[in-house]
Structure 1
Amino acid sequence: MPAAPFAERARFDARDKVLGRTQFTADIQLPDMLYAMSVPATIAKGRVRSVAIDEAMKIPGVVRVLTAKDFLAPIPPPRGATGMAAAPAVPTIVPDIAYRGAPVALVLAESIEAAVQGAEAIQATYAPSASFSPLITSEGAAREPSEPVKAGNAAEAMARAATIVEAEYECPAQHHNPIETLSTTAVWSGGRLTIYEATQGAQVVKANAAKSLALDPAIIDVKSSYIGGGFGQKGTAQRQTALVARAAMLTGRPVKLVMPRGQVFHNATFRPLSRHKIRIGADASGKMVAIEYDADHQQSRGGQFPPQYHESQPQMYGVADYDGTTANVRIDTQAPGYMRAPHPHPASFAFEGVVDELAYKLGKDPVAFRLAHDAKVDPVSGHPLSSRFLNECIAQGAERFGWSRRSQAPGSMVLADGTQVGFGVACGAYPAITSANIARLRVSADGSTRFAVSAHEMGQGIRTVIAQALLRQLDIDPAKLDLQIGDTSLVPQHLTAGSWGTASVLPAIDAVAAKMKAAIEELLAGRQIDGNLHRKLATVRRPYIEVEVSTLAPGQEERALLGLRAAGYALAGPEYPAFTTFSYIAHFAEVHVEPRTRRVRVPRVVSIADCGRVVSLRTAVSQVRGGVVWAIGSALREETEVDPRFGGWLNNDLADYVVPVNADIGDIDVSFIDRPDPLLNATGSKGLGEVAMVGAAGAVANAIYHATGRRLRRMPIRIEHLL
């Protein structure tokens, strides 16, 4: 039976955050701690000849400088390994420079000021390469095709199409900018290595540190209780982890590095520039019948971030004939990686733009055109879609937005002062992925409850979701509920990304609550005792009961738990043995384009999401608003730029990397269908964090076309593009 709707509950950790009690990883302070600062390479490609450290060592407080000679060769992947197990270790400090900003030394000092001064005193000499490829269009860029995604026969269906629209879209390189930058603190004591890191994947950090430092993973613990923003940047292993850990091992003292934002731009993963060539064909009735979609993106020489731009587009509108091709274009940069809605965000900007173009070419209303393309089956797998309430999102959004007030012709809505007004719509989907999980619950007679589970808190509110679900099932004291997540010393930690946190933790809560109830019932042996679980335990003089469970995704086998324990990867979906499932959203945007300055304003957005059953309404609304704000920034502001003469990122700070501010954001009206998915889990909840952003940038771009009659196919859309 589907779970009933959840009542709204305040954020579980709100009070501690407001009072400043919450300790983020960058806040860690330990006795006798050293501070670290890395020294970035000043060439784009080549080899380090020498690193002069004498001047740095003269600075008061500088204790040691580590260079490439202080690091061992990493453990190679085991023979026959596949998937993430086959990935090489993240490099430490090495003589070969693959991109501008790579670390060439690490300075350790008694204070952060001394560490910075010491890093500035380091003098490195290089043997630069004669040439390098900083751009996707540079000579020497190497195109590497990936596995295609195909359904039906798109070429044959396209040949029969009565109307065809073809267009090319481009999305720029962009960088995450969480408030808490990359931070690592390492402690080597008693033959064990403890790493405190702001990470979405504590088990991933543990596995990679073991590879990079040639250590047994059994002696490594990773802790990440709170993260000051992640968005995918902190989901993969970072280069600084092994540097700081090695420093702690060599000095015997705790070592801490909080990476400056400019270095984060150059060393962390980022959203790569991507190019999208799309053809859509419609039959004589105006029904989409064929899609041909080729996408590529920039990639480092050895990076593994896949160009999966077809992971949700084939399932959007039930088009049976789909031909999707992709490629990496390898250049001299650091590896790109996951950034909120990694592939569906740029893919939907392009795809929803071409869908909009086709609707206009056919003379159809863009909302009605989308509603006419409902889908029930995944054309790639042939499986039924377990739930798809996208049409409900579109219909409800159109009504709340007032779409009926829109006039069809582009450029036809103008205010008295000449401001052009545009209405735009775009939709999005994101795979409903889940992970195996392990949970341990202890309920004590003293009124306390401790729940340890695989999850990470990066501000999205997973603690609130856990508390909401746990308190709904168990009569325990919420004031003394201790939620322990992101800690590999308690239970294995899956990588928390891809909007699978809630859908993965809810089955574990169901299982652990059922096991706890059974244990209490067995203990009481038929005795009727009033009060909550703590009172029952106290009455029978039992100090506590502790239970542990493991759960699997639908169709997943037990061996998935081995992947969870080893490296934090135990994922399934969106294609399951008997069904496929996605989360969906519809965004409606109103834009105002000023007549003289051509500045674009977005006074309001309406967003309606289908994420299955909503567990925490308060945090869900926050997720969608945050995603829409980010999408507005992506559509109108954000781009990381490269100087092709020298490589590296030019605008590597928040002064020059332009993001939206309060004045850029108008009203964002958020609502949910809140109908449970019948197959994914007992609660019926799917993911939300990623899909919240998907399609919103497309809605803004489509609204700009409606306002001005100009179809702009590259983000960000700026004043100069409308002059």
Structure 2
Amino acid sequence: MSTAPFPDRARIDAFDKVRGATEYAADIQFPGLLYAMTVTARIAKGTMTELSTDAAMRVPGVVRVLTPDDFPPPPPTGGEDGPPPPPPTLEKTIAYRGQPVAVVVAETLEAAIAGAEAVRPSFADEQFSSRIDSAGAESESTEDWTAGDAAAAMAGAAVTIEATYESPTQHHNPIELLVTTAVWADGRLTIHECSQGVNVTKGSVAGALHLDPALIDVKSAYIGGGFGQKGLAQRQTALVAHAAMLTGRPVKLVLPRGQIFHVATYRPNSRHRIQLGADATGKMVAARYHAEHEQSRTGFFSPAEYHESPIRMYGIENYLGTAANIRIDRQAPGYMRAPHPQASCFAFESAVDELAYKLDRDPVAFRIENDTKVDPKTGHPLSSRFLNECLTEGARRFGWSRRSAAPGSMTASDGTQIGWGVAAGCYPSMMPPAIATLRIGANGSTRFATSGHEMGQGIRTAIAAVLLDGLDINTDKLDIVIGDTTAAPQHMTAGSWGTAGAVPVAAKAVERMRAAVSELLAGRTVAGNLHRQLASVRRPYIEIEVSQVGAGQNNDALAQLREGGFVVAGPEFPEFTTMSYIAHFVEVHVEPHTRRIRMPRVVSIADCGRVISPRTAASQVRGGVVWAFSAALREATEIDRRYGGYLNNDLADYVVAVNADIGEIEVGFVDQPDPLANSMGLKGLGEVAMVGASPAIANAIFHATGKRMRELPIRIEHLL
């Protein structure tokens, strides 16, 4: 494996994006296109007793109103151990406010909206529970995470701390809305959608509408931000697909943001009770951690995963993790960037910082002293771990040695309180299998097709970096085809495994192509422009196919991939565990009178294995820090206890960070390949980039003010 650093390259798709030439799902047009709009439930729980569509059908331009009677019954589920069923289509039983109950299809968007407003559903409502603390919310324990004997070790600890932390409900809010366009022609269904998992979409629609998956194609060339919201099957997809089948015309639905708040997944409100114990030397010897979060009545987003990262952060040999779902009457939560670690790391790293202060230890040194090279959960070695290097280099760049340790001891001349905080984070490193085809033409074109979805993270640029590093090809005609079930088998892109799946198979394609060209040239050295070499031997093109599996996987994984299966390897392998790591150093300023918090600078150092695309990797980290600031100080979805919906369901009222909030963000990488992770030595980055930044901010606020922050978002009233 080469360990040479990759050169910095511009984003391969930047020029088209800044010119507005990139085509997203909502941009796609077809002759005879119809527009759809959903009608939603105005109650949080109950039954739709009547649905009057007469007034809607009288609206000029309305073509059809779809009701629950237009859809086939839901398919049977796979049982408790089977996969989750596809999202329901239209139902008369109401499980949450905002649930779609009808779909209006019209010649224009305006007519579809007017028609939806004219539909008159009637409901019989029931008592509902909208929050964790609502009457009727039901607690349901899940599996434990254990290592050693936490109770005995805690009893023998010289120093302990115990605290409860809370993270709010938060919504993704990518700028691109949820969009589906469906075309039914010649017995085939083609769906254009902003999806992180086009094969998931394909299987979901096939299940919901009782179709043969072989008759369905799904395409998602570009996504305007996903962050997990667009990874699982979306409820509107089958509605639009069925509308296209019933009308015989293409149908497009762009869900309004207010509806997305009520029907899409979100980060659930969660509570975290943590107890940590250390011996007299400062070694952490025990941790007990109970996590609970809000959950729909039938949702499957597991609270047990809050333990996956904290148990692996330090050498704590005795760990007891318990968890519970609190089932309520809202739509199901789901994956949102750094799904569990964003909340769990805020809690755990805040507690670690508190323990360090109680032991009178420097927070950076304390973390380094509690390093581990072994996964406490499995007992296996960690494949590569450079967290100490992240902490050491971050401290050097930040100037941590100049820090005055006592809380409240650093102030500016105008009385502004200055705080310096640190926190670390980790995230599982995983890899899916991949199949790819690479075609190089004598006409100067190159086409590479594989699994992947471009959400702005730069997966195309990373693939291009590998292709251009190993092959002399023209850059202006390089076409990287991803997110298309007709081009290559597609695996969901999530969990920071997108690049880990696409880049190794691209590297393998480079090797195979060089060998194929060498054979074509009768063994001559492959040197110079490949397009010209093909032209010189009058070969119009050359094409190869390659496949790649993750560590411990075999050809069965490729077979599952071809069938649309979910087959990710890691982070636990038979002989090792692989994780990505990061350390964040944050400076905050707290204004003495208004208590306004600003963040003038951050230093973030990541260990994500080999860095393939330095520019997009740094962008990922900056984006993670910005979002972590937003999550720590701004974002919270407000639940309406009266009706079970969301009060701030638009970008005007859902407060996020803006440019004025963010100062300088310095990003660095250890850039050391992990030879066990995959053939290219890279590990995931997109998720871990966000992990740890929120507690670093909270710890900096403590250093500035002497007040511990145990609830997000941190607001001015918490500092009064």
Fold similarity call, TM over 0.5:
yes
Cα deviations across residues 337-360 of structure 1 (Å, max 9, x unaligned)? 000000011000000000011011
Gaps of 5+ in 2: none
Cα deviations across residues 203-251 of structure 1 (Å, max 9, x unaligned)? 0000101011100000000000000000000011010000000000000
The correspondence for 1:638, drawn from 619, 632, 635, is 635
Secondary structure of 1:670 counterpart:
strand
Secondary structure of 1:44 counterpart:
coil
CA contact (8 A) 2:518 2:526 kept: no
Q: Which residue of 2 aligns with 1:479?
A: 476
Q: Which residue of 2 aligns with 1:375?
A: 372
Secondary structure of 1:435 counterpart:
coil
CA contact (8 A) 2:518 2:525 kept: no
The correspondence for 2:224, drawn from 225, 228, 242, is 228
The correspondence for 2:115, drawn from 115, 118, 142, is 118
- The one-letter amino acid paired with 2:507 is D
Secondary structure of 1:360 counterpart:
helix
Separation in 2, partners of 1:285, 1:509: 49
Secondary structure of 1:666 counterpart:
strand
- The one-letter amino acid paired with 1:267 is V
Q: Which residue of 2 aligns with 1:216?
A: 212
Counterparts of 1:442-521 in structure 2, within 5 Å, are 442-521=439-518
The correspondence for 2:140, drawn from 141, 144, 152, is 144
Separation in 2, partners of 1:460, 1:593: 33
Q: Which residue of 1 aligns with 2:275?
A: 279
The reply to whether residue 262 of structure 1 matches residue 258 of structure 2 is yes
Separation in 2, partners of 1:470, 1:528: 18
The correspondence for 2:407, drawn from 402, 407, 410, is 410
The correspondence for 1:178, drawn from 170, 174, 185, is 174
Cα deviations across residues 569-592 of structure 1 (Å, max 9, x unaligned)? 110111112211111000011111
Q: Which residue of 1 aligns with 2:594?
A: 597
Instruction: Report the CA distance between 1:77 and its aligned residue.
Output: 3.8
Q: Which residue of 1 aligns with 2:711?
A: 714
Secondary structure of 1:204 counterpart:
helix
The reply to whether residue 393 of structure 1 matches residue 390 of structure 2 is yes
Separation in 2, partners of 1:365, 1:346: 24
Separation in 1, partners of 2:396, 2:420: 13
Separation in 2, partners of 1:224, 1:391: 40
Separation in 1, partners of 2:590, 2:455: 35
Q: Which residue of 1 aligns with 2:341?
A: 344
The reply to whether residue 288 of structure 1 matches residue 284 of structure 2 is yes
Cα deviations across residues 59-113 of structure 1 (Å, max 9, x unaligned)? 11111111111111133245x7945xx2111111110110000001111111111
Q: Which residue of 1 aligns with 2:613?
A: 616
CA contact (8 A) 2:296 2:332 kept: yes
The reply to whether residue 430 of structure 1 matches residue 427 of structure 2 is yes
Q: Number of aligned residue pairs: give it.
A: 719
Secondary structure of 2:346 counterpart:
helix
Cα deviations across residues 508-555 of structure 1 (Å, max 9, x unaligned)? 112222222222222222356763222222122221121112211000
Q: Which residue of 1 aligns with 2:160?
A: 164
Q: Which residue of 2 aligns with 1:205?
A: 201
- The one-letter amino acid paired with 1:615 is I
Counterparts of 1:3-42 in structure 2, within 5 Å, are 3-42=3-42
Separation in 2, partners of 1:578, 1:512: 28
Separation in 2, partners of 1:427, 1:2: 29
Separation in 2, partners of 1:542, 1:518: 16
Instruction: Report the CA distance between 1:382 and its aligned residue.
Output: 1.0
Q: Which residue of 2 aligns with 1:48?
A: 48
Cα deviations across residues 134-154 of structure 1 (Å, max 9, x unaligned)? 111112211111111111111
Separation in 1, partners of 2:35, 2:134: 39
CA contact (8 A) 1:201 1:568 kept: no
- The one-letter amino acid paired with 1:402 is G
Instruction: Report the CA distance between 1:405 and its aligned residue.
Output: 1.8
CA contact (8 A) 2:425 2:583 kept: yes
CA 1:3–1:43 in structure 2 vs 1: closer, same or farther (change >3 Å)? Answer: same
Task: Report which stretch shifted further, 398-407 or 293-302.
Answer: 398-407
Separation in 1, partners of 2:142, 2:569: 21
Task: Report which stretch shifted further, 263-272 or 671-680.
Answer: 671-680
Separation in 1, partners of 2:418, 2:473: 54
Separation in 1, partners of 2:167, 2:559: 38
CA 1:529–1:625 in structure 2 vs 1: closer, same or farther (change >3 Å)? Answer: closer
Secondary structure of 2:598 counterpart:
strand
Q: Which residue of 2 aligns with 1:541?
A: 538
Cα deviations across residues 152-195 of structure 1 (Å, max 9, x unaligned)? 11111111111111110000000001010100000000000000
Separation in 1, partners of 2:463, 2:152: 50
Instruction: Report the CA distance between 1:598 and its aligned residue.
Output: 0.8
- The one-letter amino acid paired with 1:630 is W
Instruction: Report the CA distance between 1:567 and its aligned residue.
Output: 3.1
The correspondence for 1:665, drawn from 637, 662, 678, is 662
Separation in 2, partners of 1:699, 1:517: 47
- The one-letter amino acid paired with 2:206 is A
- Root-mean-square deviation (CA, aligned residues, Å) is 1.2
Instruction: Report the CA distance between 1:645 and its aligned residue.
Output: 1.4
Separation in 1, partners of 2:441, 2:80: 43
CA contact (8 A) 1:495 1:568 kept: no
- The one-letter amino acid paired with 1:713 is R
CA contact (8 A) 2:3 2:672 kept: no
Q: Which residue of 2 aligns with 1:328?
A: 325
CA contact (8 A) 1:25 1:224 kept: yes
Instruction: Report the CA distance between 1:403 and its aligned residue.
Output: 1.2
**TM-score, length basis structure 2:** 0.98
Q: Which residue of 2 aligns with 1:58?
A: 58
Separation in 1, partners of 2:650, 2:527: 59
**4+ residue runs over 4 A deviation:** 80-83, 527-530
Separation in 2, partners of 1:617, 1:73: 50
Gaps of 5+ in 1: none
Q: Which residue of 2 aligns with 1:317?
A: 314
Secondary structure of 1:434 counterpart:
coil
Instruction: Among all aligned residue pairs of Structure 1 and Structure 2, give the percentage whose two residues are the same amino acid.
Output: 65
- The one-letter amino acid paired with 2:183 is V
- The one-letter amino acid paired with 2:494 is A
**TM-score, length basis structure 1:** 0.98
